[in-house]
Amino acid sequence: MRILVLHSRYRSAAPSGENNVVDAERALLSEAGHEVASWERRSDDIAGWPIRQRVALPARSVYHSAVRRELAARLAATRPDVVHVHNTFPLLSPSVLDACRDAAVPVVATLHNYKLLCASGDFFRAGSPCHDCADGAVLPGLLHGCYRGSRLATAPIAAGLVLNRSAWRQRISAYVFISAAQRALMAGLQLPAERVFVKHNASLSRPAPEADRLHRVAYLGRLDAAKGIPFLTAAWDRYRVEHPRSPLRLAIAGDGPLAAEVRRWAAGHDRVDVLGHLTKEAAADLVAGSLAVVVPSSWEETFGLVAVEAMAAGVAPVVPDRGSFPELVTDGVDGLHFRAGDVRSLAGRLAAIDARPDRCQELGVRARQTHRDRFLPARNLAELLAIYQFAIDHPVDAAPTRATLPA
């Protein structure tokens, strides 16, 4: 099969789960013998643009005619069987959908976030989940300045949501949501149900060998409010007040806008290690050597890749009981849930890990089995190829017959 992957890559300075998933799926397809090509733009390049080009970017993120022409030429030259669209913002724009329609090439679109309804893409505002725009409205996001905290910056995003909504509904042969929870929260898009699939993200993590566990829990991810860093530090503070003599350590790996604040907080805690951004190898070692990985997300994650990668290493994930996490992790079986937004609940889970590390390691053993049963790359590849075949067999100008993914 010939596949062309379209993706506007996020900045490399801010580690991106979406970038990682795109790369992982492309690797899976190539290893399986498929002809995979990429057509990408990189946000890293924006800093080197002349000011005139940067000023024009907001308008071009709504619709970019030059991108449409360039893609049309690429499609005419290579004739892929299917185009897989990931992120189009800000450097590609939905103009790519028109180029694919004109070339009669079916499109599969993976929706990694909430961007087709929410200006900020995360249904998160003022420190908590927000669904004001979940029904398709754009005015609340504009009034609150949800993109970068600015009404001016949000205006072209809101315009794009309105102007391109029909294209997103009519130009796609198959839609991929990365969790059932995400699909439910985005029902306001009113997509054709017979073309909608749920496929969890690809992860190239393989089951890790046994490692000596330190009496430690780890956090790996972006240091910002949506990922739950303020919530985690509050829960740790409560835990330490209630268990001042506990030997349990907390390791925090990652970077982001709250990095300086996290370092200041950690300076007053002798059992907290702030490690900064780690290589993939160092991050894997941190996970494998910990009792548990804590995922304190304050937003409704569309998919918890960190939790799944912890499971691959045989390490118990500790996750909130909302968003995608309940469909990935079963409380008390292959990980632990805490009540979302409840500091006392997370502190209690930390206390349980401290008191019964053997129990936590038992959860990790079952987490590894869950990964083998549900998240190995071969299964993900089979699901992805089934979706591609559906899109090829049922282009948007033909009435589809509902297909199911392989078990």
Helices and strands, counts by H and E, the chain: 16, 14
pTM across the whole model: 0.92
- The pairing of strands 124-125 and 128-129 is antiparallel
Residue 306, amino acid: V
Q: Assess whether the previous peptide bond of 90 is cis (omega < 30° from 0).
A: yes
Joined together, the tokens standing for residue 19 give: 């970038």
List Cα–Cα distances, 390 to 14, 93, 172, 305, in angstroms: 34, 25, 12, 26
Specify the pLDDT at position 401.
60
Helix (H, G, I), strand (E, B) or coil at 64: coil
How many residues are present in the chain?
Answer: 407
Angle 345-347-350 (CA atoms, 0-180°, nearest 5)?
A: 115
How far is the first Cα of the chain from the last one, in angstroms, to the nearest whole number?
A: 22
Evaluate whether 361 touches 353 at the Cβ level (below 8 Å).
no
Could you tell me how far CA 100 lies from the centroid of its own chain?
Answer: 25
- pLDDT value at position 212? 77
Kindly report, residue by residue over 213-244, the tens digit of the pLDDT: 999 999 999 999 999 999 999 999 999 999 99
Residues 6 or more apart in contact with residue 300 via CB below 8 angstroms: 123, 124, 129, 181, 185, 322, 323, 324
**101-121 pLDDT tens trace:** 999 999 999 999 999 999 999
Could you give the 3-state DSSP secondary structure of residue 4? strand
* Residue ranges of the chain with per-residue pLDDT less than 70: 14-15, 205-211, 398-404, 406-407
Query: 2-203+378-393, what's its fold?
Result: Rossmann fold (3.40.50)
Token pair belonging to 286: 């941190």
For 320, the enclosing helix (H) or strand (E) is strand 316-320
Fold classification of 216-374 is Rossmann fold (3.40.50)
Domain ranges of the chain: 2-203+378-393, 216-374
Beta partners for residue 218, in sequence order: 251, 293
**Measuring CA to CA, how many Å separate 166 from each of 7, 84, 160, 161, 304?**
21, 19, 11, 9, 30
The whole-angstrom separation of Cα 97 and Cα 93 is 9
Strand 272-276 and strand 249-253: the pairing is parallel
Examine domains 2-203+378-393 and 216-374 and report if their fold is the same: yes
> What is the reported pLDDT for 205?
64
State whether the Cα torsion 76-80-83-87 is positive or negative. Answer: negative
Contacts of 215 (CB under 8 A, 6+ apart): 247, 248, 249, 291, 354, 357
Residue 331: how many other CB atoms lie within 10 Å = 15
